Chains A and B, each alone.
Chain A
Amino acid sequence: MNIPEKLKYTESHEWIADNKDGTVTIGITALATEQLGDLVYVELPKPGAKFERGATIAVVESTKAASDVYAPLSGEVVEANAELSDTPQKVNESPYEGGWLFKLKLSNPKEMGELLAADAYKKSAGT
């Protein structure tokens, strides 16, 4: 299972890349996409919307499930991956690159310290 070392994770299968400019890029892990199967629809937040950590921020739907995606950190949406509205399967094909979901400008960067490193995520996911 592909779980890149350079990223941070949540137990609920989101990944977080620190862009080092006060923003982060967020997506769902390869394990999550494997469990969901082929995605058919992605509902993303609008830029400017603000979310507290733990709030439902996006929805992904596959042929076999619909799932809420949680905000792993508090912040304001600065960009959503517009390409996914036409090609949701990109999340399956490239979960850590072309399949990213949205970017957040952090309102509480200290929360970053509570995310999981790759090893801890692997352990929590039982892989």
Chain B
Amino acid sequence: MKNTVQRTVSPIDGSVVVERPLASDADTEKALARAVEAQKKWRPVPVAQRVALVRKMVDWCVGRADTIGEELTRQMGRPIAYTPNEIRRGFQERAQHMCSIAEEALQDIAITPGSRFIRREPLGVVLVVAPWNYPWLTSVNAVVPALLAGNSVILKMAQQTPLVAERYAEAFKAAGLPDGVFQYLHLDHGQTAKAIRDERIAFVAFTGSVEGGHAVQRAAAERFIATGLELGGKDPAYVRADADLASAVENLVDGSYFNSGQSCCGIERIYVHRSVYKPFVDGFVELTRQYKLGNPLENGITLGPMVKTQAAELVRAHIKDAVGKGAKALIDPTSFPAQKDGTPYLAPQVLVDVDHRMQVMTEETFGPVVGIMAVDSDELAIQLMNDSRYGLTASIWTKDAEAALRIGDQVETGTWFMNRCDYLDPALAWTGVKDSGRGCTLSRLGIETFTRPKSFHLKLSP
């Protein structure tokens, strides 16, 4: 059996919004051959010129942010009030930052100028495998630095958001990028694994589930190529007694429910000092009740459907598991009329009286539900934050910067936030520990990811 056509089913109403033929074996072969040839010509292009082309691509996308945002809403269900900002804010901010640091990041490291130095060479053809939840934000982390470093790129975008790959191609073409330097392929899982096994692929940048990360690693197992794996999270927040509660509530509610909780660095569990637990929970519930769940194409909707019914059913199962083990659900789902079992429309939920026997506190839920637990000390908060197979981001809410640093040193995480969450700073390394993955993107290190060191040692006089 071999898939020949992929269909994108909109979570809004179950209709097919995009249908595309999957690449044939011949299509894939052609793309790989073109990518190799194009990279040979792209590699000698000066970095400043690469930067200029990428900036034009970004401008093209930003100029069409409303159109791109609407088609993104139709593909994956995030409210239209937010989708254009994926282009205008995060996508643009990250791409522009990487453009601004590329020349410096790619300079030779001189030991003895002119005779002993380390050069950062491009790897060759980079395969970027990107997910549907933030398809522009996740792909830009790899597509842009890979190109800036002199690689060619093949993008395999998730089946849920194939139009993103096509818009990239249009944008790069309009910017004047030479043919073949950027290409996309619509592939299924088996075809993707086959491409990874091809000797012409020099690096795989994957963002997605732990299960997907394992599949990428298995496919690459017979080869000595590197893989960047940005996987899941079970990101905790710790609200200390000295926190600005109003700010903590506002930011953590947004961090929990934005994009229906379908964010790799979304807030999934919150530990609150017992002395401020009650006012924190009361404020959290009050703000959660203000969400408007419904058709994400309508004005005023702040919470859309989850990406598919199966995903919503998993979240419902986690809630049921928690309640069965003694948790209390503080939101009445019937107060969200659009909520309906058996559909992707799911009301947000706040669970208290939770503990780590419950799936909702230990497994990635990836939905609009959060568990809140009282703690009596920094030590217990650290222990609970670290009691997880994941480690993508964690946050502390306090006025005490010294305590934030001291506690942050003990938390197993890729990024440690104080008084903020659910944000990627393009100047900092985006990385994870444990099952959250390996490698990093963004920052200067995220450009180096797409290079290999080559040492030059010239004896200038015999």
Contact = CB atoms under 8 A, between A and B. Distances in A.
A67 B190 CA distance: 13
Q: Chain A: interface residue count, which band?
A: 10 to 19
B159 interface: yes
A67 B218 CA distance: 24
A35 interface: yes
18 contacts: A12-B2, A32-B1, A35-B189, A62-B7, A63-B7, A64-B7, A64-B8, A64-B9, A64-B159, A65-B3, A66-B3, A66-B7, A67-B1, A67-B3, A67-B4, A69-B1, A126-B215, A126-B218
Q: Could you tell me the dominant secondary structure of chain A's interface residues?
A: strand
B110 interface: no
A13 interface: yes
Interface string A58-73: 0011111111111000
A28 interface: yes
Closest 7 CB pairs of A and B: A66-B5, A67-B3, A65-B3, A64-B7, A13-B1, A69-B1, A12-B1
A14 B1 contact: yes
B339 interface: no
Interface in A38-77: 60-70
Contacts of B2: 12, 67-68, 70
Interface of B: 1-9, 14, 16, 159, 188-189, 193, 215, 218
Contacts of B1: 12-14, 28, 32, 60, 67-70
Nearest to A125: B190
A61 B1 CA distance: 11
Given A61-B5, A65-B6, A68-B2, 15 more contacts: A12-B1, A28-B1, A32-B1, A35-B189, A63-B7, A63-B16, A64-B6, A65-B3, A65-B188, A66-B3, A66-B4, A67-B1, A68-B4, A69-B1, A126-B215
Interface string A1-42: 000000000001110000000000000100010011000000
A38 B20 CA distance: 18
A32 B218 CA distance: 19
Contacts of B3: 36, 65-67
